Amino acid sequence: MLVATFFAVHCSLSFLADVYGLLNPSNGSCKKRFSGQTHRVLNTLDESGNIKFAYEVEQDGKLPFLDLLLVRTDNDGLKFLIYRKPTHIDQYLNFYTHHPIEHKLSVVRTLMERSQCMVSDVVDKKHKDAHVEDALRVCGYPEWSFDKVKSQMEQKKQKKKQKKQEQSSPQPLVVIPYIEKTSEAVTRIMKKLELSNLHVNKRVNALKN
């Protein structure tokens, strides 16, 4: 992070070749200096000249970063929205095209899960979901497709929550002596009761005693 060698950086995030840095807001010349001196330094790193760095600065309190749009809030915090390029026209797979129904439902699911995972504010999530549904209606998607995907997402969420609860609560362990044929039958019964068991060899225990 060469930015840190020139300015006070409050935080820095990176993903592959993309870097996000929050400069000291008390220094009013940071933006101007970054666009000049730092940018020139970055573009001298590759002696062959094949790699060139580009950058974007905050505009009207907003800065795109990968698929996110970072928005400055009134209390100098950050909230995340979905970033769409100015050329984006909300054109998706048409529902009446010759594709499997699962492919069409996956379009709905991908866009809705994207909103739920990436948008930070609850109100903004509702707005983004409404925007997705309006765009997909134009592409011919019926209301039942949204209801079906929402139901699937809720089921997935509940299963994940249940699995997490099961992992947090230890499974009862029953220690029993091993008896050929009998122990196998007991194990099958205990699995149905969601119990785990540990077999102990009686002969080994006798030798230890």
User: What is the average per-residue pLDDT within 6-30?
Assistant: 57
Domain match, 81 and 156 both: yes
Q: What are 55-77's pLDDT values in tens digits?
A: 777 888 898 888 889 898 888 78
Whether residue 63 is contained in a domain is answered as no
Task: Kindly state whether residues 92 and 156 are assigned to the same domain.
Answer: yes
Question: Do 137 and 187 have their domain in common?
Answer: no
Mean pLDDT over 85-106 rounds to 94
* pLDDT, average across residues 88-94: 94
62 within some domain: no
Q: Is residue 70 assigned to a domain?
A: no
Residue 66 falls within a domain, yes or no? no
Look up the domain containing 132 and give its range: 76-160
Which helix (H) or strand (E) element contains residue 70?
strand 68-72
178 and 145 fall within a common domain? no
Total domain count, the chain: 3
Q: What is the pLDDT of residues 140-161, one digit of tens each?
A: 999 999 999 999 999 998 988 8
3-state secondary structure 145-182: HHHHHHHHHHHHHHHHHHHHHHHHCCCCEEEEECCCCH
Residues 138 and 196 in one domain: no
In the prediction, which pLDDT does 24 show? Answer: 59
